[in-house]
Structure formats: C-alpha cells, structure tokens
C-alpha cells in the first residue's frame, strides 16, 4: 500500500491535536507516532545531535536514515531547539504552550531545570495534557537509568525467559519500551477525553517498570497467588500443555493446544489416537504433570515430516500450529492474509519513499494516515507552527538525558 503526503486523505480522529514531542529513543517516539498516524500534529523537538537513534547505524533504510529511528518517527515534523540558549528555550517554551499534549522522557528534574515542567506550564495553559515517561517513576526511582534491558532484568521478565538450563534471557526486542509507549498513548487519550468534559488537562505518568509488571499478567498473578517464583520453561507454557515448539525434519513448529478437543485432534493427525485416551494425558492438568514424556512422544512422530506438511495437516484439523518464521516470512504471511503489514510513505515532493510497518489499529471511518516519512534532522525549521507564536528554528542542547 502506498501513501503520499497530500491533503486528500480523510480526516483523522486526532486532527486539531498538537503534540510537542520532547521525547527520544523508543517509548516516547513510539507513542507520538501512534498519535500522529491518527491525525495529531506532532512536532519533534530535537537537541543539536538529534534523537539518539539517528546515530544508531547500521542498518539504514532506503534513504540512508537509521532504520531504528525510521521505525518510530513517521508523520512528524522535526525542529531543533537549544535549551541552553535564550532563544532556543523561548522557542521550545512557545511550542509547549501552543500544544494540546506535551510528552517527555528526560530524567526527573531536567524539565524543571528549564521551566518546562508540568507545574510551570500548567499554570499558564491549564488545558495542557503533560505526559512524562520514566524508567522507575518520579519518586524513589528518579535517579535510576531507564534502559529496557535493565528493566527486563530487575522487573522479572528475564527470570521467566529462556530455557531451564540457560542463563536468564532478554526478549529479542525492546518490548518494555513498546509496552510503555502504548500505555502513554492510552493515558494521553484518556486525559484528552477528560479534558473534553472538564476543559482542563492533567499530568500523565507512565514508567517502564510498572508497564512491565502489568505486562507480566499471568506470571505476576501466579506469584501473588502462590508466593512461588515462576521458572524459565523455554518455549513451554506454565499452565497449558502441549503449548511449545517441537522439532520436525527441518524447521521447528509451534503447537498451541488449549483444549482437550484440540489435543484429541492433534493425536489423530499425528497417527497417535491412543494418546487421547491415555490417562496421563486425559486433561490439561494431566498433560502438564507429564509434559516431558508427552513432548518426547509427540516429537518422535513430528520428526518424520517437514514442518510445512505438519502445519498444513494440523491447520486442516483446526489445531493451532505454525512454523517458527523469520521476520521476513512473518511479513509474507501477514500479506497473504490480507493484513497489508507494510506501507510505502512518500513525502510531498515525491523525493523520499519510506517502507514502514503499518499501524496495527484499524478504524472503519477514520483510519491511520501516512502523510510524512520520518523527518530529516531539523527538516521543518522555520515552519509556521502557530499564528500566535514565533516559528521554532534553533537548536536544543541537552546533556542531562
């Protein structure tokens, strides 16, 4: 699917909402990109060296831009402000006071240093929704650095990730940042809805640790219920069996059996109907108790055919199963299913095209729009952002992130 930066696209549900985006790296930029996709006017306010991820290369995209930066910064305008100068600080402040939403992920205390904190700005613009993203909150964890790997470690996620005989492992993407960015979006939208009713903005606080603890769902609930720390199980599930990956002749496949009916169908497809009447595997609790021997029996049969054959047979029997795909194969699958996972975004001049992963939220009347590729550094300096405020065109200097 291709999109061009023109005015012919339907209005977005967030049209008219302006966001002053002081965030960088992942959680904040992910949140503001989601808002921008639905029509918010996001002004990315960068420091003189740019968002950290501009320098995280290689890899680069088709325009020579760092692919990390490009992944979370489409549909935005970039200006550069130097908070260390009087002019730069004045312009950043003007952008903040002209915005409906401000989002920042500096270390607690930095925005106060520049008079860009919630209390100062809210006194002049009561309708401002002010979102702060921190690693560990603004109280006892204010001094702790908010890095995704660190939070995965201290937040318990690594303790349940990896095989029983391996060291604790991180997830293969900065998942905590993504979860936190999603929570920021939810908080901002809730605050904007409340503002519709009261006319007043409010402070939205989200942090990486709390976002992770919420994201631990059943594992955290199990800990609360039993007082026992969940253990690493590799790809197996703590409460369901068989629910893990299995070897075949070639590629591994994932089988996710959630009901007795599915298990019976699995046994039939594998030519092992006796398993469905074996007392060791009669119900999920039994299968959990005999997980190791069950996996051995299943894998012995699965190892006789290629993954593609098994997944076709299992799908026909309505048993949840699939090959462990590469990311490229996953994109191919989504395309085959009609999900249109990739969009090509062209700038207004037609000179830059950026391949992007599509927004996952589908709205029937006001869908996501892709009007701008990720901005070049300071690309929109000198643009008019407000009828009442001067344009932002200077540079932001920030060494306190």
| DSSP letter assigned to residue 11 | P
DSSP alpha helix (H) spans, 229-340: 260-269, 284-289, 291-302, 307-316, 327-336
382: left (phi over 0), alpha (psi -120 to 50) or beta: left
| DSSP letter assigned to residue 44 | E
Integer CA distances (angstroms), 325 to 239, 243, 248, 312, 321, in order = 24, 17, 14, 15, 12
Reading the block at residue 229, the tokens are 């720390």
Determine which one of 177, 251, 260, 399 is catalytic: 177
Distance in angstroms (rounded) separating the CA atoms of residues 45 and 73: 12
Distance in angstroms (rounded) separating the CA atoms of residues 59 and 123: 44
The phi, psi pair for 255, rounded to 5°, reads -120, 125
DSSP alpha helix (H) spans, 173-306: 175-198, 208-215, 217-226, 260-269, 284-289, 291-302
CA-nearest of 42, 25, 46 to 77 is 42
CA angle 200, 93, 55 (to 5 degrees): 115
Helices vs strands, H then E, count in the chain: 14, 12
CA 224 centroid distance within chain: 26
| DSSP letter assigned to residue 107 | P
Question: What residues contact 189, with CB distance under 8 A and at least 6 apart?
Answer: none
Question: What residues contact 147, with CB distance under 8 A and at least 6 apart?
Answer: 135
CA-nearest of 37, 20, 14, 31 to 371 is 37
Residue 177 a catalytic site member:
yes
Integer CA distances (angstroms), 199 to 30, 103, 125, 186, 191, in order = 27, 19, 11, 19, 10
CA-nearest of 175, 249, 164 to 216 is 175
Instruction: Give the residue numbers marked as catalytic.
Output: 177
């Amino acid at each position: 699917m291709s999109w061009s930066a023109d005015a012919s696209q339907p209005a977005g549900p967030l049209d008219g909402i302006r966001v002053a985006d002081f965030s960088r790296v992942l959680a904040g930029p992910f949140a503001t990109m989601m808002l921008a996709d639905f029509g918010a006017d996001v002004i990315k306010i960068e420091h003189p060296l740019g968002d950290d991820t501009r320098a995280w290369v290689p890899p680069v995209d088709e325009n020579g831009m760092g692919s990390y930066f490009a992944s979370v910064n489409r549909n935005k305008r970039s200006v550069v402000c130097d908070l260390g100068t009087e002019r730069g600080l004045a312009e950043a402040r003007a952008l903040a006071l002209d915005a409906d939403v401000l989002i920042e992920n500096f270390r607690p205390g930095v925005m106060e240093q520049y008079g860009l904190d919630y209390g100062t700005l809210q006194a002049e613009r009561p309708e401002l929704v002010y979102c702060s993203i921190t690693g560990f909150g603004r109280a006892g964890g204010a001094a702790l650095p908010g890095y995704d790997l660190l939070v995965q470690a201290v937040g318990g996620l690594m303790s349940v990730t990896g095989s029983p005989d391996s060291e604790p492992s991180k997830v293969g993407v900065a998942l905590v940042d993504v979860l936190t960015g999603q929570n920021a979006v939810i908080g901002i939208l809730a605050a904007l809805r409340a503002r519709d009713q009261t006319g007043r903005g409010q402070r939205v606080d989200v942090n990486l640790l709390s976002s992770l603890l919420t994201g631990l769902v059943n594992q955290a609930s199990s800990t609360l219920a039993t007082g026992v720390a969940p253990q690493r199980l590799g790809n197996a599930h703590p409460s369901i069996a068989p629910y893990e990956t299995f070897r075949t002749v070639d590629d591994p496949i994932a089988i996710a059996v959630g009901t007795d009916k599915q298990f019976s169908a699995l046994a039939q497809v594998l030519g092992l109907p006796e398993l469905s009447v074996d007392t060791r595997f009669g119900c999920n609790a039994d299968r959990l108790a005999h997980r190791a021997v069950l996996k051995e029996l299943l894998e012995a049969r699965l190892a006789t055919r290629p993954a593609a054959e098994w997944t076709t047979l299992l799908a026909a029997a309505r048993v949840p199963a699939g090959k462990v795909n590469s990311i490229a194969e996953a994109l191919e699958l989504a395309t085959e299913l009609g999900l249109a996972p990739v969009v090509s975004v062209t700038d207004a001049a037609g000179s830059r095209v950026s391949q992007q992963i599509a927004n996952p939220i589908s709205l029937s009347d006001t869908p996501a729009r892709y009007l701008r590729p990720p901005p070049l550094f300071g690309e929109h300096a000198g643009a008019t952002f407000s009828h009442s405020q001067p344009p932002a065109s200077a540079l932001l200097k920030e060494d306190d992130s």
